[in-house]
Amino acid sequence: MKFLCLCLLALCVVLPTMAAELTVDLGHGAQTYSSSQLLARADVRDITIPADVAFKRSMHYRAVPLRSLLVGLKPGEHLQFVAADGFAAEIDSTPLLNTHGAQAWLAIEDPAQPWPTLTENHGSAGPFYLVWTQPQAGHISPEQWPYQLATIRQLSGVAERFPAIVPDSSLPAGSQVQRGFAVFQRTCFACHTLNGEGDARLGPDLNIPHNPTEYLSAELLRAYIRDPQSLRRWPQAKMQGFDARALSDADLDNVLVYLGYMAKHKTAH
Is the pTM higher than 0.85? The answer reads no
Please give the CATH number for the structural domain made up of 19-155. Answer: 3.90.420.10
What ranges do the domains of the chain cover?
19-155, 162-263
Mean pLDDT of the chain: 89
Q: Which residues contact 8 (CB under 8 A, 6 or more apart)?
A: none
Element (H, E) at 39: helix 35-39
Between 15 and 213, the higher pLDDT residue: 213
Record: fold of 162-263 = Immunoglobulin-like (2.60.40)
Residue 116 has pLDDT above 60, yes or no: yes
CB distance 20 to 128 below 8 Å:
yes
State the average pLDDT over residues 52-59.
94
For 133-163, the pLDDT digits (tens) are 999 998 898 889 999 999 999 999 999 999 9
